[in-house]
Structure 1
């Protein structure tokens, strides 16, 4: 729908035009009616019109000045002059501003305005179609160039370098000329929480296109002699060149560029971490260094989100994760049966933080987590009636996509909480995937305020639609569900600790203790202090 702005100091004229046209049926929306050019210009700073119909003679700013200023901001603006003046000078100035028509108030005919608006719409549609075609062509060119760059970097890493000069020439065509004497610092960048990033962008192609553009623009703006290649949607190869041998500032300049890239990708609500390899003066060395980074599974798996670090090529450490496997399995089973949400999070975090400290083979850590989850689920099937147990067959596939120990920890906790949610709330998790995800999101964030809009955004859903869907699927509103989960957690904290009520209130994201006490009493029939006293008796 195209936006229209009407400007005239003769308000009855504005009303006449506004009510004489069926704007919606024409695909138009009047976003403002203003009595002078200054107010119209101020409003346009917030919402720019596509079509402007304005008087000429007005206080503070006349129509010609308004058109000139708006066209500076939006050259494609369609404008029509509406005035009592039929003098040639006004018409000549309007023509200079590329005003599409000049209408006289004393002969004003709504049919003529509708005809003019139809012309505007047709020209705007034509312009939009042209821009769309041009954008498609530009994207196709960019996509082809991106694919060629990917083909080049894959061939570099996977095939022998038979013709070094040809390789250098191709590298130069992508923006990194080598004249001799440069030291190349290779870097591999990784999208953090890649599974979630793919869901947010709904397709790998869209995610890849967005990342490619942001990296290209950031490198150009930074001014460093560097080029990037998308090895895959998640993995980016970056080469930075420095003249005069390897110097400390070469690594520091590279780090500055990587920090600039991190800042830029945050505008996409993404995070990237980077592994820096050894600098090398020859193409063969570049290949060897990049392969070394790729094979450094330990650095990759144990990295923190947003980390910039050197790839050291460390071998996995020796650590027997399965030594106390049965003890861990029994503890996890008991915690789930007791619905001890906080203790589950603490236990899982403790186990995997110990693994992070010892740094065993990542494959061993994933295998331990998978076996622990599957063993616990089997033990619980005879005790709990939860339908989500059938999802056990997809666990290995999901685990393979997890790139870091941090993601593995969050994933493991999420599955434990889904079992509790299914048991406590009548199998909510099995009804709709979106509702299951919303419930898990809430359960993992009971320590802060959670809004419906926040969760709807996480699920890429309209808040109103999500609210209706949640009520339909669960029988309670989203706010009621969040409150109920927080009150369950409050009871757990009151039962298992001597934490003061005020601290529990803060722990659950409430900033008003009186409101928290009121909610708790409504939920349990007792105040927190009364509840704890009753437990002691």
Structure 2
């Protein structure tokens, strides 16, 4: 609705017009009635009208002064003067102020004013349509320009620069003036991109929002940085400067990136990080630097959120990440079985710090985490911790989309919290919680000898009753279940550690190695040594 303001020191006139015109019927809102221009101007500061109907002769501030003040603030304000004055000089002043109509109170008819209000509304509607169309056209122009810039930067990175002069000319068309100047390439990327995309509903909306904010900030700079989108996650910034000037280009580039960073955080609530490349003097150097920044996967994975840092080489750790797999798996499994929700954050942080300390390649880290979670799922599913509808494909997709160790840490905390909540719900819904508790007990004591009587005592149940109950609920005897869990654990230790068979035998609470080997072969079909040989061959 368009807002209408009535201003007249004749109160009966205000009351008459307020009551006689069906404002809402015409798609209008009577925003206020005021008895002088000064009060009306004060109110307009907080709620500017679209249509003003005002008298001329009023105390403190007359109608013509009020019109002049409001027109400065809103040039497209629609105005009708409602007055007893019909002198020519008043009409002249009204014309100079671009007043649309001049109505005398002596001949006032509400129907005539309603007709005038409808004309105002139609002209405002038409103006809105024109502005909307202009905005759409401008958006198309900006979008096409952005796509052309992205095409240029991709071509620069992916194809040979055969003609340096043509390349510089094309760069100049995008306001990148490099003739006789050096350039500092910068890679920018959105921190926690997945969450930002979810909040903005789509890549296109997020990209448009980022582009608008960055364009606004860059346009205000005396020495502009030229921005090139590269998909939605990443973007490049080329910072040209005169190499003869006594300036530190890195310091200046950091200032510019900090302005962009603060604006994106303020207006979009999004964190961005930047990696600054080496100074370039030739187009070929820019090409190499851009490709180097884009392939700096390890640095990007381990950089802190909201960082602005120079590009540097990361040395991959020479430690075997998977040699620590069993320890991590055991810690997370025990944390979940024992329902230690207060240990989620510190346990995740401990392993994230470990990964950061040794700077393992991001792909290896993701493989390690994915295997860890899938194995946990299988183990906990056997303990009735998971429902069969648990989405493994979504888990895989989400881990692959994670771009940084910081994001991985937050994701893991949320994942374990949701799994723990689900496990609690399943526990509460279980009709035979004694069986679930028995399974949990076994999982926590695989390193010891476990007897049926011991678990029955733990559950305060008669051993014979517990034996029948367990077989009825699970389809296998308690001893068969214990043996199966121990053999599964034996296979894990054979797969993930270099412990000898005798050591694994002790770790699973068996006193007799020959008996352990016999049980293993009966369960798996081969001896422990043969099983390990199959895995390494």
Shift of 1:405: 0.7
Q: 1:336 to 1:56 in 2, by over 3 A?
A: farther
Q: Specify the SS of the correspondent of 1:323.
A: helix
For 2:168 and 2:17, locate their aligned partners in 1 and report how far apart those are by CA, in whole Å. 66
Q: Which residue of 1 aligns with 2:163?
A: 163
Shift of 1:141: 0.8
Q: Specify the SS of the correspondent of 1:291.
A: helix
Is the Cα–Cα contact under 8 Å of residues 177 and 240 in structure 2 kept in the other structure?
A: no
For 1:51 and 1:224, locate their aligned partners in 2 and report how far apart those are by CA, in whole Å. 43
Q: Which residue of 2 aligns with 1:250?
A: 249
Q: Which residue of 2 aligns with 1:445?
A: none
Q: Which residue of 1 aligns with 2:328?
A: 328
For 2:385 and 2:22, locate their aligned partners in 1 and report how far apart those are by CA, in whole Å. 59
Q: How many residues align structurally?
A: 427
- Residue correspondence of structure 1 range 448-459 to structure 2 within 5 A: none
Deviation digits for residues 396-434 of structure 1 (CA, Å, limit 9, x no counterpart): 11112211111111111111111233344589xxxxxxx
- Residue correspondence of structure 1 range 63-462 to structure 2 within 5 A: 63-180=63-180, 182-244=181-243, 249-266=248-265, 267-384=267-384, 387=387, 390-424=390-424
For 1:246 and 1:185, locate their aligned partners in 2 and report how far apart those are by CA, in whole Å. 15
For 1:46 and 1:258, locate their aligned partners in 2 and report how far apart those are by CA, in whole Å. 35
For 1:342 and 1:140, locate their aligned partners in 2 and report how far apart those are by CA, in whole Å. 52
Shift of 1:48: 1.3
For 2:349 and 2:246, locate their aligned partners in 1 and report how far apart those are by CA, in whole Å. 40
Q: 1:83 to 1:293 in 2, by over 3 A?
A: same
Q: Specify the SS of the correspondent of 2:323.
A: coil
Q: Specify the SS of the correspondent of 1:79.
A: strand
Q: 1:385 to 1:356 in 2, by over 3 A?
A: closer
For 1:402 and 1:247, locate their aligned partners in 2 and report how far apart those are by CA, in whole Å. 41
Q: Which residue of 2 aligns with 1:36?
A: 36
For 2:370 and 2:66, locate their aligned partners in 1 and report how far apart those are by CA, in whole Å. 66
Q: Specify the SS of the correspondent of 1:190.
A: strand
1:50 aligns with 2:50: yes
Q: Which residue of 2 aligns with 1:470?
A: none
From the CA coordinates, give the structure whose radius of gyration is larger.
Answer: 2
Q: 1:235 to 1:101 in 2, by over 3 A?
A: same
Q: Specify the SS of the correspondent of 1:229.
A: strand
Shift of 1:226: 3.0
Q: Specify the SS of the correspondent of 1:49.
A: coil
Is the Cα–Cα contact under 8 Å of residues 53 and 81 in structure 1 kept in the other structure?
A: yes
Structure 2 gaps of 5+ residues are 428-537
Shift of 1:215: 2.1
Shift of 1:99: 1.1
For 2:99 and 2:319, locate their aligned partners in 1 and report how far apart those are by CA, in whole Å. 77
Shift of 1:337: 3.8
Q: Specify the SS of the correspondent of 1:5.
A: strand
Q: 1:112 to 1:361 in 2, by over 3 A?
A: same
Q: Which residue of 2 aligns with 1:2?
A: 2
Structure 1 gaps of 5+ residues are 428-537
Q: Specify the SS of the correspondent of 2:70.
A: helix
Q: 1:85 to 1:426 in 2, by over 3 A?
A: farther
Shift of 1:53: 1.3
For 1:35 and 1:157, locate their aligned partners in 2 and report how far apart those are by CA, in whole Å. 68
Shift of 1:162: 0.9
Q: Which residue of 2 aligns with 1:474?
A: none
Is the Cα–Cα contact under 8 Å of residues 315 and 359 in structure 2 kept in the other structure?
A: no
For 1:233 and 1:328, locate their aligned partners in 2 and report how far apart those are by CA, in whole Å. 35
Q: 1:6 to 1:387 in 2, by over 3 A?
A: farther
For 2:275 and 2:179, locate their aligned partners in 1 and report how far apart those are by CA, in whole Å. 26
For 1:422 and 1:25, locate their aligned partners in 2 and report how far apart those are by CA, in whole Å. 54
Shift of 1:385: 5.5
Q: Which residue of 1 aligns with 2:24?
A: 24
TM-score by length of 1: 0.76
Shift of 1:189: 0.7
Q: Specify the SS of the correspondent of 1:179.
A: coil
Shift of 1:388: 8.5
Deviation digits for residues 73-131 of structure 1 (CA, Å, limit 9, x no counterpart): 11111111122222222222111111111222233222112111110111001111111
For 1:362 and 1:389, locate their aligned partners in 2 and report how far apart those are by CA, in whole Å. 29
Q: Specify the SS of the correspondent of 2:52.
A: strand
For 2:50 and 2:351, locate their aligned partners in 1 and report how far apart those are by CA, in whole Å. 59
Q: Specify the SS of the correspondent of 2:372.
A: helix
Is the Cα–Cα contact under 8 Å of residues 168 and 179 in structure 2 kept in the other structure?
A: no
Q: Specify the SS of the correspondent of 1:33.
A: strand
Shift of 1:166: 0.5
Q: 1:383 to 1:20 in 2, by over 3 A?
A: farther
Deviation digits for residues 222-255 of structure 1 (CA, Å, limit 9, x no counterpart): 2125311111112111111122359661111111
Is the Cα–Cα contact under 8 Å of residues 377 and 386 in structure 2 kept in the other structure?
A: no
Q: 1:177 to 1:248 in 2, by over 3 A?
A: closer
Shift of 1:299: 0.9
